[in-house]
Chains A and B, each alone.
Chain A
Amino acid sequence: MTPRPRSPRLGVAALVVVVVAALAVGSRGEAGPATPAARADRLAARVRCPTCAGLSAAESEAASSQAVRQEIRARVDAGASDDAILGYLVDRYGEDILLTPPSTGTGSLVWVLPVVALVLAGGALAAAFRRWRAAGAEAATDDDRALVARAREG
């Protein structure tokens, strides 16, 4: 008994379900930090070292990074929200103090553009597949058949 051929639509549907599930899980982010120290560390990891290049304030031992870490910890202990703490640092150092671009304003383009590009590419591929399928396979002409016959004889 030969297995029944599966519909390609089933595969596409399964792929869509996996992608949507992955995006849903990814967009939920990590669970909240367990302690104020862990929360301060996580915030410091989102902030650029003010003095050195390529390091976060959590990784760097520069005096400026230590000061940023102390400030973050003091504000965490004072009950400030993550947005308020990061907003304060942006207010003092400028937008470039953040390692992660903001999800609002022009910075949000960094997040939005890849998704838009992905959707457009997917749409273009789907349209191309449909066009190729509609075109169908080319039928062999009499000349083609004669060529094959000569080749077999010869």
Chain B
Amino acid sequence: MTATTAVPAPARRPRTARWSALAVGLVAVALVAILATRPDARNVIAETTLRGRPAPEVVGPGLDGATVRLSDYRGRWVLVNFFATWCVPCVQEHPELVRFSQRHAPEEAQVVAVVYDDDLGAVRAFFRERGGDWPVVDSPSAKVDFGVRGVPESFLLTPEGIVVDRIVGGVTADGLDGFLAQAQAALG
């Protein structure tokens, strides 16, 4: 009688690791797909209680120390832009505001920037470095008067100073052109 030795069956590789890797891969692909296809967070019109009402007055020191008054810009379309130098979307939208301003200022439309919780020295350096020649005003109470929840936020005003749109999360020059044309058409 010959002795037979049992040959051990090859150990099966655990499948847990393979399934886990597959799951992680699928989640990563789904995340990339969601991020790639989500709508642009800029040029978003948001609700405001001020729509159709006169914009609150904004008064405060400008970058050169002289008093800036929002009502001084009546007679042309005004984009009131709340911003801060520490706010990344504000930095990103700045070149777009420069482009919009170059297209329309000063006769047709005027940008007026309102400093949001920032240092005027930092704001001066910001404009020196990145351009933009529109008036800037430091008025801490303006953010409550306009019901601003965060930066960047912009308000489009008619030449009579009536609030037409509130735009949150940054703007583009083309987007602003669209809002301006729409508002001008509505006004006749």
The number of inter-chain residue pairs (CB within 8 angstroms) is 41
Q: Do A64 and B149 touch (CB < 8 A)?
A: yes
Cβ of A64 and Cβ of B141 under 8 Å apart? no
* Minimum CB–CB distance for B3 against chain A, Å: 73
> Chain A: which residue is nearest B47 at the CB level?
A94
User: Does A82 make an interface contact (CB < 8 A)?
Assistant: no
| Closest residue of B by beta carbon distance from A74 | B141
A63, B140: Cα distance in complex, Å? 10
Q: Does A121 contact B (CB under 8 A)?
A: no
A100 on interface, CB distance cutoff 8 Å: no
Specify which chain A residues have a CB less than 8 angstroms from the CB of B143 in the assembled complex: 63-64, 67
Closest-by-CB residue of B relative to A49 is B149
Chain A residues near B141 (CB-CB < 8 A): 67, 70-71, 74
Is the pair B150, A64 in contact by a Cβ cutoff of 8 Å?
A: yes
Give the Cβ gap from A67 to chain B, nearest Cβ, in Å: 5
CA distance A94 to B146 in the complex (A): 11
Chain B residues with CB under 8 A of A71: 141, 144
How many chain A residues have a CB neighbour from B under 8 Å? 16
- B117 near A92 with CB under 8 A, answer no
Q: For A92, what are the chain B residues with a Cβ–Cβ distance below 8 Å?
A: 49-50, 144-147
A93-B117 Cα distance, complex, nearest whole Å: 18
How far is it, in angstroms, between the C-alpha of A96 and the C-alpha of B180 when the chains are bound?
A: 29
> A67 CA to B117 CA in the complex, in Å?
9
Contact residues in B for A64 (Cβ distance below 8 Å): 143, 148-150
Tell me, yes or no, whether B116 is within 8 Å of chain A by CB: yes
Contact between A94 and B148, CB atoms less than 8 A apart: no
Which residues of A (49-68) have their CB < 8 Å from a CB of B? 50-51, 63-64, 66-68
12 contacts between A and B (CB under 8 A): A51-B149, A51-B150, A63-B117, A64-B150, A66-B117, A67-B141, A68-B144, A70-B140, A89-B144, A92-B147, A93-B49, A94-B147
Chain B interface (Cβ within 8 Å of chain A)? Answer: 47, 49-50, 116-117, 140-141, 143-150
